Structure formats: structure tokens, C-alpha cells
Chain A
Amino acid sequence: MAANKIHAIYTDDDLLLQAVKQTHSKEYEISEVYTPFPVHGLDEAMGLKPTRLAITAFLYGLVGLSLAVWMMNYMMIMDWPQNIGGKPSFSFHQNMPAFIPIMFEMTVFFAGHLMVITFYMRSRLWPFKKAENPDIRTTDDRFLMEIEVADHNVDELAKFLYDTGASEISLIKNEEDI
């Protein structure tokens, strides 16, 4: 019983947003919403916390920057000082302007790539993964809201969802529980 879900399908993004707001304010638990395109303000209406991806990007950027500083110092100053265009090659700070493009590129490279990889891991996505989509119409023109039934009365919940404007309401029973 505990894992039963209700799928409510809407035909319009504004209607969906309205329904999500009402459902959220009634303290029903929305486990997921499937939409064909990103709906503006949906994350806020669902009560999702702001993403922490930006913080990881900043940290990855710092890693890239530090690595670039270390790398250029090791290659161009410590291991094999080279005279390029008569620039001073025996101290890091005197040669630094030449290294700044590399520092910048490494910062961007690390922040960008590691952020994408983090995003995939956090969203549990990987190549050849089978799509977790309960209804194929959500890739076309339907919007699907998935609500945890928990210990609510199914009929009451269905009635409530009908009032929010859902065009289809279906109860999904978890197979393992039966």
C-alpha cells in the first residue's frame, strides 16, 4: 500500500502549474512531474530546493585553477625552463601573464565538464539508460503529475485532483505489495 501512486494528466502547462500549487498547498506529496518542455516556475511551485550545482561548479573551477597554476609552475619553471620570446622563465610571478590564458581555460574546462558529470550522476543518468517515463504522451503534449498516495484516502485525492482540472487520473499500484 505504501508505494501506491496516482498519475494525473493535464493538457496545459498553466493548468499544471496551478494544479501543482494547489496540490503542494494541500500537503500532498508530489514525487515527480513529467513535462514535454521546461515549465517556468515549476520547481518553485513543487517546493524543490534551489540546486547546489553552482556551488560544485565553483569548487571544480578552483580545482582547475589550482591545477593549472601547479602544472605551469612545474612544466615551465621547475622542470624545464624555456626561453620563449625572451620572457623571464625562472620565476612564476614574472611569467604569470603568459599563464593566465591557461589558468582560465583549465578553470572553465574543469568547472564545465565536472559539473556536467555531477549533474548526470545526481540525476542517475548514464549512456544507454532506459528512460523512466510512465507515459509516452508526456514527450508530446501531455503533462503528468505523480502523487504519493501514502495514507490519504484515494477517492478524496482523486476528487481533489479532478477539481484541479486533471483530464485523466489513474491509480498505479506497486506490484510488489500485492
Chain B
Amino acid sequence: MYTLPSKLKLFSIILVAIGLVGIVYGFLSTPKTVDDVQHIIEEHQAHRAANNSATADFIDRARGEEGFSDRSLQESQDFAYNDGSLEHAEHVLHQLQARPWSATFTAAFFFMMLALGVLVFYAIQYVAKAGWSPGLYRIMEGITNYLLPGSIIVLLIVIFAGTNFFPWLNDDLVAEDKYLQIKSAYLNMPFFVIRGIIYVAGWNLYRYIARRNSLNQADALNFDFYRKNYNISVIFLAFFFITEAFMAMDWFMSMTPHWFSTLFPWYVFASMFVTAITALTLITIYLRSIGLVPFISNKHLHDLAKYIFAFSIFWTYLWFSQFMLIWYANIPEEAAYFTIRVQEYGTLFFGMLIFNFVFPLLILMNSDFKRIPWLIVITGIFVLIGHYVDIYLLIMPSTVGAHYYFGIPEIGAILFFLGLFILLVGIGLGQTSLDPGNDPYIKESKNYHF
């Protein structure tokens, strides 16, 4: 039985406290008036001129008229040439005010998706009647203990962020935009809130029931609870993959409401799944190193590392599929999404490929390396960092545009949610024995060999 060491508990509480200070500082230090912004823009311009960077002037001037594509590119233009107008300054003010929201959301979603991805992995094990993994059930359940508070925080952030994230909430903008008027049948605040509540409630309901059944199964004399868990896991997976698609569209894609990609929800899912399995692997390695899960052998580690390897490649596949099609077709309203990411976030955008693809590919390709804990830990940390950057790039370019930094609000948010994650996962792991007891496949899992 695991108990969260008091030092680790103290450490996580300190992280939460420091993180909270960082987040609050981020909100308090945003510029309040247009005058402040004018100042910032001047500095920005001076810096930009010194670097002599290319402008992002890619409007089709031959056509000589403004269209929807021009509007969708507006954001990209704004940073490039500034006439010092009031309108521009207001736009930048808006972006700067969105920054602490975005920083908090990035970290909040990143840690929430660790718990959510592990929950999906857990459901998949039940549905597949997997024989190798029941030994990991209690660890997975411990990690999903973070889901309830984590998902509620994320939901509150997206609801209260308002126009900081979602341009379709800006009535003035919608009034002059035919596309947004059409989309307002789906993209409106009441429906948005209802959908968000459905997603979060559904996920947490499954977590609650599955956890209860799993605990009852530990001392049961028959396998009724296991069968119940199988049934609700099937339902949950169907529910999850639908709600995950809409969740990705609602919370991320609608930040740029003119842009759409049918592949986008699965791209977010791939990121979620690979990070979640990485977190599960790291926590398993930690618990194994302190000798609490003697029934987890390096064969189990091998399988987990295979998942990290495979889903890193899967993530890259989706990333590239989305990128290449849009790059090749080069339709302005589609390309706007990548234009800002390549021009303003180029290093991060392509750099994350090294963390998320090249690194796991080359290190985990060798079969023997998948059984060496310290190599998996190093790869896992790189994957986690890489996918934090991935989430950062989903959010930041859409909300703050070119005015991004990595400063106190971002670090504060990471520390806050990391502390909360350690605390809640530690409590979750400590609630019961890490041995799943009378699970029908536990013997196979403990004797797992290949």
C-alpha cells in the first residue's frame, strides 16, 4: 500500500502555492489600457526592426477585394505591419489579456489529459479483456483520481475565458461575419456550456462507477463486477470518442472559428493518449523502484514502452497528415492556421518534432532499450515536454498571436497543476492496495511473459 510521503506532499503543496502566485501575477500584470499597449508595441516594433525579419504579407492583392480569407488572416497581418492605429492597439491589448488565460489553460488541459488519457487506456484494457495489464489497474485508477478536479477546472477556464479564447462570443464580430452567423447555431454560449458539462460529467461518471466496481471485484467471489465494468467500458469508449471529437472542436478549434480540419480531434487525442501512457509508465517505474508493485516485471515495462513508441509515431502521422494536406492545397483560410505557427512559432513548431518523434523513435526502437527503466524515464520526460509544447501550440497562436512569451504565468500554471497532480494522484494511489485482488486476469498479468 502506497502512502504519499509527507515530504512529497509538502513539496506538492508548495508547488501549488508558488504556482498560484504565478498565475495571479499573470492576471494582475496584463496591460489594462490601450496606452500601455501602444508602449509595448513600440518596443516590439523596435525589436522587430532590429532583427529585420520578413513581413507576413501574403494577401492576394491581385484580386483587389477583401474576402473571408483576408479576415481569417487578419490576425497574422496584425503583428507584421503596424500603423499605430487605435484598432490595432485594441487588438493587441486583447491578445495580451488573453495570455494569462491561455497559460493557465495550457497547463490545466495538459495535466487533465494525462488523467483522461489514462482513463481511456483503462477502459480499453477492459474492453480488450487484456491479460497483461490488470496488474496496472490500481495505478491507472490512482492517476484518474486527478480527473474530477482537473476536468472541472478546465471546464471553468473555457467557460469563463469568454472572448479571450473564442472570437465567436464577440457579438460585434459575429454581426459582420456571415460564417460566424451560420455557425452560431452550434457555437453559442448556452449550448457550449451544456456540451462541456456533458463531456465532463460523462467522463467522471464512468471513472466513478468503474473504480467502484473494480474495488468491489477485489474481494468478490464471482466475476459479476468485472462483467459490469466490461459493459460500461464499452459504452464509455463509444461516448468518449464522440465527446472527445466535440471537445477538441469546442475548446481548441473554435478559437479560430474560420479554420477547420476534420483530422483535428484525433490529433488532439493522439497527443492525449501518448502523454497519458508516458505518465502511466513513469509512475509505474517510480512505484516499482520503491518496491510496491513486485508483480510488475520488465515485460510490462516493455509493453508500455511499445505504446509510447507506437503512439509517438501515430501522433506524428496525424501531425504530418494535417500539415501536408493544408500545405499542399494552400487555400488561404486553411493555411492561416499554419502560417502563424510556422512564421511566429517556427522553432517550437518544428522543434517539437524532435522531442515527440525523432527522440522516442530512435531510443525506443531497440527492443532491449524498452526494458531499461532509466532510458524510458529520459524518453518519457522528453515526450512530456514535447507534448506540453504541442498543447501550447494549439492554444497560444490562436489566442495571443505573435505576443507570446514563456514567462511567469506559464511556469506558474505548470507548477500549480503539477503540484495538484502529484497531490491528488498520490492520494488516489494511497487509497487502497496496489494489487487488484480477485480480477479474472490478474494471474495471467502477474505471470506475464513473452
> Which among A40, A54, A85 is the interface contact of B328 at CB below 8 angstroms?
A85
Question: Interface size for chain B: under 10, 10 to 19, 20 to 34, or 35 or more residues?
Answer: 10 to 19
C-alpha spacing A85/B328, complex, angstroms = 7
Residues on A with C-beta less than 8 A from B449 are 40-41
B 145-186 binary contact with A (CB < 8 Å = 1; else 0): 000000000000000000000000000000000000000000
C-alpha spacing A85/B365, complex, angstroms = 36
Residues on B with C-beta less than 8 A from A41 are 449
Residues on A with C-beta less than 8 A from B330 are 85-86
Residues on A with C-beta less than 8 A from B450 are 40
> Which among A54, A58, A97, A101 is the interface contact of B327 at CB below 8 angstroms?
A97
Interface residues of B (CB under 8 A from A): 320, 323-324, 327-330, 365, 367, 449-450
Q: Is A87 an interface residue (CB 8 A)?
A: yes
Known contacts A85-B330, A86-B330; A54 and B367 CB within 8 A of each other: yes
Q: Are B324 and A87 in contact (CB under 8 A)?
A: no
Q: Which of A1-49 contact B (CB under 8 A)?
A: 40-41
Residues on B with C-beta less than 8 A from A87 are 328
Q: Is A98 an interface residue (CB 8 A)?
A: yes
C-alpha spacing A21/B396, complex, angstroms = 60
Instruction: Name the residue of chain A whose CB is nearest to the CB of B449.
Output: A41
Instruction: Name the residue of chain B whose CB is nearest to the CB of A87.
Output: B328
Q: Is A78 an interface residue (CB 8 A)?
A: no
Known contacts A40-B450, A41-B449; A98 and B365 CB within 8 A of each other: no
C-alpha spacing A58/B367, complex, angstroms = 12
C-alpha spacing A54/B366, complex, angstroms = 9
Instruction: Name the residue of chain B whose CB is nearest to the CB of A55.
Output: B366
Residues on A with C-beta less than 8 A from B323 are 97
Q: Are B324 and A98 in contact (CB under 8 A)?
A: yes
Interchain residue pairs A-B with the least CB separation, the first 7:
A97-B324, A97-B327, A85-B328, A98-B328, A100-B320, A97-B323, A54-B367
Task: Return A55 CB to nearest CB of chain B, in Å.
Answer: 9
Q: Which of A71-95 contact B (CB under 8 A)?
A: 85-87
Instruction: Name the residue of chain A whose CB is nearest to the CB of B327.
Output: A97
Instruction: Name the residue of chain B whose CB is nearest to the CB of A86.
Output: B330
C-alpha spacing A20/B417, complex, angstroms = 55
13 contacts between A and B (CB under 8 A): A41-B449, A54-B367, A58-B365, A85-B329, A85-B330, A86-B330, A97-B320, A97-B323, A97-B324, A97-B327, A97-B328, A98-B328, A101-B324
Instruction: Name the residue of chain A whose CB is nearest to the CB of B367.
Output: A54
Instruction: Name the residue of chain B whose CB is nearest to the CB of A101.
Output: B324
